[in-house]
Structures are given as C-alpha cells and as structure tokens.
Amino acid sequence: MKKLLLTGAAGRIGSRLIEELINDYELTIAEKDLTVLDDWEGKGCQLKAFDITDYKECLAACEGIDTVIHLAGNPSPTAKYADVKKVNMDGTYHLMAAASEQGCRRLIFASSIHTVKGYPKDEQVKTDSPLRPLDIYGVSKAFGEAMGNYFAYEKGLEVIAIRIGGHRSIEMMKEKGEQPNSYQRSSYLSARDMNQLVKSCVEAKLDRPFEIVHGVSDNTFKFLDLSDTKDKIGYKPSDNGFDL
C-alpha cells in the first residue's frame, strides 16, 4: 500500500477525502491543530501535527511518504497578499522542497479555477491556456503551479496541479434556497468526482514529471476543459452540474 500524506485534512475537501483513501492506502492526515481531527483517532490512519510554515516540520511529515496530497492553504478569494503569502506561497514551497529532499515520488497540489477565472464565462479554458487570475488568491495558486513545474523538472519530484472548480458550491446554494447560474453549473465539481480525481492522480502513470489537470464534473458545458485531463490520468467524472 502506498503511503500518503494529506495536508489540510480537516477542510471541506480533505475531510471527505479521508473516507475515500483510508481503506486503500497507509494514510497520514496532517493539520496544525489535531483536535479538529479527533474523530479519526484509532480508525486506521495516522494523525500528524505540523506547521506548513516550518520547514523542519515539513521534512518530518514527508519522511517515508510516497505521495503528498497538499490541500492546506488559505482558501479565501478575497484574501490580501499578506494573508496568502505565508501559507499558500511560503508553505507550498516548504512542502515541495521537503517532499523532494525526502525522496517522495509525487506531490498533488490543490491549485484552483481562480488561476484562470479571468476568461470570459462562455470561453472554455484549456490546461495550457495562459494564466489569468482575477484575485490574489488565484495569484498564490499560480505561484504554486510554477513552483511545482520547477521541482518537477529541476528536482525530480513528480507534481500534478489540480485546478479545483466549484467544489460542492451548488449543493451549498440549494441548501440556502439559492438558484445557481450557468457559470456555477459549468464549474461545478461534486465531492464524489473530487475524490475520484485525487485517486486518479495518485495512481496515474505520467508521461511528463509535471502536469496540470482540471477539476470539474462532467457538466454539459465545462468552463474547464476535461479532454486532456481524462487522457493524462484516466479521470472518469460521474456528475453533471446542469442536472442538479
């Protein structure tokens, strides 16, 4: 069984990923504050307290790990530069450097649709489309993609950057009685498809050391193109934001 390290394990995406990964891998789940993960104590995974802004703690967390799934970060689209620099930028560098130094095979980086959100909403974005962030959060994720490219080609660490779409956004809107618009449907990513996407990234055989893949469901119109993502990692989404 591959040994996985999941950072940001208590977040909205990470908490659902634990359930998907725990039976198939030797899983270590990591957070700065482990009290938020108490429910997983003794249930088949190892809990690890670490601060992503501390390089030595990143080194310790990556020891013996095959694949790092890096979800930790400030997720706010309205965050200012000072709010994202320490975690989203410095922390991402620390974790990639630690994974490389510890000989990890692969790191899966949670990038974001915000790296390309500046495109017109009726234009489909490809994985090789130029970056076009509209906010500093998107800039911080673009930084992570560039850093992943560097560590892949210069340091030998395989890196897959997932541009995550509107994860569970439609479900949250429906709970509030709100009606999603066509863009929100086109960028939708269900929890089920997100889990399958990450597992595909863990298991895929890559032709190149660095890849960008797109994280949306099989929506009737997809703001993020999925054609080469399916080819690169064998992603097979099940859900459709226009059917909800």
179 exposure class (CB count in 10 Å sphere: 0-12, 13-18, 19+): exposed
Q: Are 9 and 71 in contact (CB under 8 A)?
A: yes
Residue 151's nearest CA partner among 113, 199, 185, 103 is 103
C-alpha to C-alpha distance for 62 and 85, rounded to whole angstroms: 22
SS (H, E, C) 84-120: HHHHHHHHHHHHHHHHHHCCCCEEEEEEEHHHHCCCC
Question: Which domain, by its residues, includes 113?
Answer: 3-233
**What confidence category does residue 168 fall into, taking pLDDT thresholds of 50, 70 and 90?**
low
Average pLDDT over all residues of the chain: 95
Q: Which residues contact 220 (CB under 8 A, 6 or more apart)?
A: 185, 186, 240, 241, 242
Residue 169: predicted pLDDT: 75
Percent of the chain with pLDDT over 90: 89
Residue 240 maps to a domain: no
pLDDT (0 to 100) of residue 175: 82
- Which is higher by pLDDT, 215 or 36? 215
The pLDDT-based confidence of 176 (bands split at 50, 70, 90) is confident
Query: In this model, does residue 77 exceed pLDDT 80?
Result: yes
Residue 129 lies in a domain: yes
Query: pLDDT, tens digit, for every residue of 21-55?
Result: 999 999 999 999 999 898 898 899 999 999 999 99
Per the CB < 8 A criterion, the answer to whether 224 and 187 are in contact is yes
Residue 36 lies in a domain: yes
In contact, 96 and 148? CB cutoff 8 Å: yes
Q: Is the pLDDT of residue 62 over 80?
A: yes
Active-site residue, from 25, 137, 188, 235: 137
Model confidence at 158, in pLDDT bands (50, 70, 90)? very high
In angstroms, rounded to a whole number, what is the distance separating the alpha carbons of residues 193 and 89?
A: 27
Q: What is the CATH number of the domain that holds 165?
A: 3.40.50.720
> Could you tell me which residue, 65 or 172, shows the higher pLDDT?
65
Count: domains in the chain: 1
137 catalytic residue (yes or no) = yes
Q: Is residue 241 part of a domain?
A: no
Question: What pLDDT shows up at residue 244?
Answer: 79
Does the residue 158 lie in any domain? yes
- For the segment 48-66, the average pLDDT, to the nearest whole number, is 96
Positive or negative torsion for Cα 70, 134, 76, 114: negative
In a domain, 152, yes or no: yes
Query: What is the per-residue pLDDT for 103?
Result: 98
Confidence of residue 12 (pLDDT cuts 50, 70, 90): confident
Query: Is 238 inside any structural domain?
Result: no
The predicted model scores a pTM of 0.96
